[in-house]
Amino acid sequence: MSPVVEAHGVRLRPFRVEDTADVVDGLADPVSQRFMSGLPSPYTEVDARWWIDAGAPAAWTGGGAAYAVADPATDRLLGTIGLSNPVPVRGQAEIGYWVRPAARGRGVATAATRALSEHAFGTGTARLELLTHPQNASSQQVALASGFRYEGSRRSAGSGRDGGRHDLLAWVRLAGDPPGPTARLLPDLPGGVLTDQVVALRRLAPDDAEMVYRLHSRPEVVANQAPPVPPERAAIERRCMLAESGWLTGEIARLLITDVATGEPAGSCGLSYTDVAGGEASLGYALLPDWRGRGYATRAVRLLAGWAFGPAGIARITAGTVPENTASHRVLERVGFHREALQRARLPGLAGTRLDDLTFALLPADLR
């Protein structure tokens, strides 16, 4: 590989002693420390000098690469990018990066990832993997912007500072993939919110965990789930922590329903793909008691369906309900859903029992 690569507005070059302070600045940062669990903590000048003198050269010796990402105008270090874990028989390598705090939000990681990916493919690499922590949404956005596609979860492939294990998300780009960003199955909400000026939908966030747990622990909400078992608080916290990742991987869009006038949370809703190739998705929703009977569920479902048929390009939406949930049936019918099928014993119940699933479906022309 070339010792210097210039492309997409960044320079990839060897490390120098003069980079020491900037390496410390980048790797002593709390974000780097959180998602790069193998770093010394605290990270000091001694650690940076070891990387420059020994760590980076060893990456090259081992068949990988370790570049300083520099500003072409000043040559000052902005971050690092490299290749590791080469598998020659597969023509495969793993790409990784970090960016100094002052340089974040400027597209540096995306530019460097595109530059190194193109250089690697030009020198014989066939497949690049980019592994991200499930909670590292910024890195997942870089992967998508750099043309990588979500391939799946590597279970327990990552380790934490406490000795625990966690999953890693695998993003892959092949030498023959088209240039440019990867199209997302679930695009961003226009302006970050959907609203009809009465209710608003925004992405679920970690700070919403208490409210979501309170909502989904209510007996009447639990009764309409399958199986009807109250959630554990840890599971709800994890759901909220991973909401952004679920959106970026295209698995599920989780949203909070709020009252526009007061800003108070009223409930939650979500949309997940059931058949990507067929363009089919399924939605669900729940409201807190104080907001029921005011048309808020109908408004939320209508907003979510409009976004699904519009920017998301979904062709068909389904909603499954237990047959006894007549209030939910009325909401769906007011939006334009049609009763489509009663699937007997489709869902798990309690103590080995099975529950029927009454399915409703909505097409773009049905939306009221």
Q: What is the pLDDT of residue 201?
A: 98
Beta bridge partners of 132: 169
- Fold agreement between 5-174 and 190-366: yes
Chain centroid to CA 18: 36
What pLDDT, in 10s, does the model give residues 200-255? 999 999 999 999 999 999 999 998 888 899 999 999 999 999 999 999 999 999 99
Q: Which CATH superfamily includes the segment(s) 5-174?
A: Gcn5-related N-acetyltransferase (GNAT) (3.40.630.30)
Q: So what's the pLDDT on residue 234? A: 96
Question: Per this entry, what is the length of the chain?
Answer: 368
Residue-wise pLDDT for 150-175, tens only, equals 999 999 999 988 888 999 999 999 99
Report pLDDT for 2.
74
Quick one: 190-366 is in which CATH superfamily?
Gcn5-related N-acetyltransferase (GNAT) (3.40.630.30)
Specify the DSSP class assigned to residue 4. -
In eight-state DSSP terms, residue 19 is: G
How many C-beta atoms lie closer than 10 Å to residue 242's C-beta? 21
Domain boundaries, the chain: 5-174, 190-366
pLDDT digits (tens, 9 = 90+) for 245-290: 999 999 999 999 999 999 999 999 999 999 999 999 999 999 999 9
Q: In the prediction, which pLDDT does 162 show?
A: 81
Query: 0.75 exceeded by the pTM?
Result: yes
Q: Amino acid identity of 59?
A: A
For residues 44 and 97, give the distance between their C-alpha atoms in angstroms, rounded to a whole number: 19
Q: What is the pLDDT of residues 16-72, one digit of tens each?
A: 999 999 999 999 999 999 999 889 999 999 999 999 999 999 999 999 999 999 999
pLDDT of residue 225: 86
Preceding amide of 289 cis, omega within 30: no
Q: What SS3 string covers 124-151?
A: CCCEEEEEECCCCHHHHHHHHHCCCEEE
Return all residues near 326 (Cβ < 8 A) that are at least 6 apart: none
Amino acid symbol at 121: F
Residue 96: which of 64, 125, 122 has the closest Cα? 64
- 10: β partners: 7
User: Which H or E run includes 172?
Assistant: strand 165-174
What is the overall mean pLDDT for the chain?
95
